[in-house]
Amino acid sequence: MEQSKNLSWKEIKEKYPNQWVAIANFSDDPDFPTNSQGNVYAHSADEAELVKILKKKGDDLPLAIEYTGQRLVPNFHGGIWPQPEQ
C-alpha cells in the first residue's frame, strides 16, 4: 500500500470514510487532527486489522492513528452518545 499524497484532515475523511487511518508526516498542530495534514500510510475499517497491517510493514515511523467516522462515547447512564464532529 502506497502512502497518499499530503492531504488535509477534511480530505482524509472524504477519501477514507469510516476508516482507521495511520497518518505519516503529519503536521504538528495543537488542534490535531482538525487543522492538520499528512500522508495516509495505511488504513482499514477495523482497528485491529490496521494494527496487523502496521506490524507486517515493520517500519519504525512516527504515526498518528485516527478514526475518520463518528465515534460513540459512553455516557454516565451506561448508553452511548455520538462524539462531536472534529
Model pTM score: 0.75
Distances (CA, A) of 83 to 60, 69, 78, 80: 31, 10, 15, 9
Q: Does residue 49 or residue 77 have the better pLDDT?
A: 49
pLDDT in tens, 18-71: 999 999 988 777 776 777 789 999 999 999 999 999 999 888 888 989 999 987
